Structure 1
Amino acid sequence: MTAVTDKFAAASIALTLLGLSTCTALAQKRYDTGATDTEIKVGNIMPYSGPASAYGVIGKTEEAYFRMVNDRGGINGRKINFVTYDDGYSPPKAVEQVRKLVESDEVLLVFNPLGTPSNTAIQKYLNSKKIPQLFVATGATKWNDPKHFPWTMGWQPSYQSEAQIYAKWLMKEKPDAKVAILYQNDDFGKDYVKGTKDGFGAKASSIIMEESYEVSEPSIDSHIVKIKAANPDVLLIYTTPKFGAQTIKKTGELGWKPLQIMTNVSASVGSVMQPAGFDNAQGVISAAYAKDATDPQWAKDSGMMKWSEFIDKYMPGADKTDSGHVYGYGAAQTLAKVLEMCGDDLTRANVMKQAASLKEFTPDTLLPGVKINTGPADFAPISSLQLMKFQGEKWELFGDIINGDVATE
């Protein structure tokens, strides 16, 4: 071999080694606290006790979903370690539990924390720590504010969007109706009231009464009696499940039959309509973005068949009429998609970047035509709904899919 050839060979080897080192550098795994080669630690708070305990089934479903993911090999080879705590639907308790998740458990992110009051209490803390508060389980409009809170993102349609849809439908179908609003006296209820007034616009005078209740009240029967005395044609029920069931049951006991419109978050057949009494619930209107497991039209739907198989295997004996199981599955499937998109870059910044890059994603449980889309300036993944009416022992969809985007500042 000549000297010139030797030089070429040496140069070739050097370039090969340089290329390999560059590839290695590019392929390097990147982790923040809560992620390793083998594990992704996900934190969650949920009201397993207290006035909103009906929602606890959501956390149990998410825990089961990640068990299924782990049984199938995890996400990009990493198992999900799902750490979930009870906050009792209490903001001070929520702060305490989230601090524990971050500072003691050292989770990568806080996923699907439930409740407007609880999430309001933890939002500034998580954003100051630059920890994702991802796919928040409440429809308050303020979760779509990437400019001021870049570490917080919602999941379900906003309450204001939903309320606007009800108001617009009423103006078209019952233009002369007198409307009363029953609402929870916190950000959750007030968001619905604002959306309703925005939807009515110049016709907001149709609202003849606004009656609020406190979440600490054991019963709201006295509020229903007071509203009935005002004799409205329409009752907007902006409540959490326990109080939604009480409202429908009490109107039935009073023999009072206004048109009742119920929040989507309290539309569960198993935890609201059944306890209220199916006879009392006839004709109640709500809106949906997810499939209803009690609706026979989804019996052969591929997505709901997967959901049903999951429930049978991982939550045997669970009440399939409880919509919390559908919600938890869809939210968990969305997080699994984001973590899959993260690849080996499991930094908190990349988790948020990927969460803001979802395009036409369709979890198994969403209605046909409802898709998840996000962007750097759009932290509202789902913004479409379809109206439905309670008939017999189930909800029946009607009308078209309606987009209810609410502008953010």
Structure 2
Amino acid sequence: MPVTLTKIKIVSAAFAVLAASSSGALAQKKYDTGATDTEIKIGNIMPYSGPASAYGVIGKTEEAYFRKINAAGGINGRKINFISYDDGYSPPKTVEQARKLVESDEVLFIFNSLGTPPNSAIHKYMNSKKVPQLFVATGATKWNDPKDFPWTMGWQPNYQSESRIYAKYLLKEKPGAKIAVLYQNDDYGKDYLKGLKDGLGAKAASMIVIEDSFETTEPTIDNHIVKFKSTDADVFFNVTTPKFAAQSIKKMAEIGWKPLHILNNVSASVGSVIKPAGYENAQDIISAAYLKDASDKQWDNDPGMKEFYAFLEKDFPEGNKLDGSVVVGYAVAQTLVEVLKKCGDNLTRENVMKQAASLKDFRTEVLLPGIKINTSPTDFAPISQLQLMKFKGEKWELFGDIVSADVGG
């Protein structure tokens, strides 16, 4: 039977409809729970109270930054709904808040929740639920494990990398050092200790003369500092959060113990640690940095820092520019905005992780020059470079080169 022109027209029309519907399907918006045409719902857990409350300002900075983004029209036309809860740095409370965010508030993902013990408590839960635990605010090495925990990603340099950099410095500058280590008795503290021992290698056993752990429930760590003075340690490696770091600097001055003091980056804030402890007591402390220090005048005319100062003035006037945690909150919020922009109209949890794992040489301009953010499906450690610094006068002075000391998951 000959094919008529009419039949050809019908078949052509059918193909046209099919092609149109296929291309329409490709262009369709894709959403998981927590995302719509108008909103992206993001969860966050912070210690607004408790022993690590100095870090609460990170959540407040992020909230202010997202308000600024929303005022400018949001991300691809969607406003960020940022829901942040307090867990008091207590892991059982973290579990409760994470369940609330995922099961009641129905957020798209949880972002930048703070602390190693709190994040450890929800690590398996988040991965079993397949909800991103994105850019956690802790440098524990275990967040870089895309094979076993594909829904969890760190952000800041990991603690073992940082410790290895200090070890490298000691082996070069003070090879006969006698080191006293104070560390928090959890994964955060043990990660730093492992990095130091790995970095010192065979010399660790002879160089570390005392290691002492403390609990976050202890009201003061003064007794540990007094004990250290009675040893012959001439280097103090201080692995503490801000409250205890400030206590230790004060107590060392009070009892006249003057070792070379190495302070972990997470407590290097001038505003929340050094100033309260007294500038005069903090001279020559060594730490490491990956972000610009807003108290350092060398950045006054830096374009990236000018933007940061403008943000503080207009959007977050209560933010203290001397507090390093404010810079952290600003930088990680900017990184998240980049990820969400890259997601376009595909706001599924899977795509959020995919875009977070494909950052290439991204810079928030509050990072130190030369430091870039890079991730891949097999590398969930966005920042892996640091620069050493020494406290002089009322500010940190950077020295040496940018150092990379990658440690895998």
TM > 0.5 fold call: yes
Amino acid at match of 2:41: K
- Number of the residue aligned with 1:376: 377
Q: Distance in 1 between matches of 2:305 and 2:22?
A: 45
Please state if 1:147 is matched with 2:147: yes
Give the superposition deviation at 1:5: 7.0
- The within-5 A match list for 1:116-155 is 116-155=116-155
Q: Distance in 1 between matches of 2:189 and 2:114?
A: 15
- Number of the residue aligned with 1:41: 41
Q: Distance in 2 between matches of 1:242 and 1:54?
A: 7
Number of residue pairs the alignment of both structures matches: 406
- Number of the residue aligned with 1:176: 176
CA RMSD of aligned residues (A): 1.3
Q: Distance in 2 between matches of 1:388 and 1:301?
A: 19
Give the superposition deviation at 1:318: 2.2
Please state if 1:256 is matched with 2:277: no
Map Cα deviations across residues 11-39 of structure 1 (whole Å, 9 max, x no partner): 65544433322221100111110001110
- Number of the residue aligned with 1:68: 68
Q: Distance in 2 between matches of 1:128 and 1:325?
A: 32
Map Cα deviations across residues 225-268 of structure 1 (whole Å, 9 max, x no partner): 00110021100000001001111111111122111000100000
Please state if 1:199 is matched with 2:195: no
Amino acid at match of 2:270: V
1:154 is paired with a residue whose SS is: coil
1:136 is paired with a residue whose SS is: coil
Q: Distance in 2 between matches of 1:152 and 1:317?
A: 31
Q: Is the 8 A contact 2:61 2:319 kept in 1?
A: no
Please state if 1:188 is matched with 2:188: yes
- The within-5 A match list for 1:3-402 is 13-204=13-204, 205-402=206-403
2:153 is paired with a residue whose SS is: strand
Give the superposition deviation at 1:302: 1.0
Give the superposition deviation at 1:301: 1.0
Amino acid at match of 1:310: F
1:307 is paired with a residue whose SS is: helix
Q: Distance in 2 between matches of 1:145 and 1:184?
A: 23
Map Cα deviations across residues 153-188 of structure 1 (whole Å, 9 max, x no partner): 000000000001001110000011111101111111
1:168 is paired with a residue whose SS is: helix
Structure 1: gaps spanning 5 or more residues = none
2:162 is paired with a residue whose SS is: helix
Amino acid at match of 1:312: E
Amino acid at match of 1:90: S
* Percent sequence identity over aligned pairs: 69
Q: Is the 8 A contact 2:155 2:382 kept in 1?
A: yes
Map Cα deviations across residues 32-63 of structure 1 (whole Å, 9 max, x no partner): 10001110000000000000000000000000
Q: Distance in 2 between matches of 1:349 and 1:113?
A: 19
Q: Is the 8 A contact 2:144 2:408 kept in 1?
A: no
Amino acid at match of 1:236: F
Amino acid at match of 2:259: P
Q: Is the 8 A contact 2:261 2:286 kept in 1?
A: yes
Q: What TM-score does the superposition give when structure 2 sets the normalisation length? A: 0.97
1:210 is paired with a residue whose SS is: strand
2:77 is paired with a residue whose SS is: coil
Name the stretch that deviates more: 5-14 or 213-222: 5-14
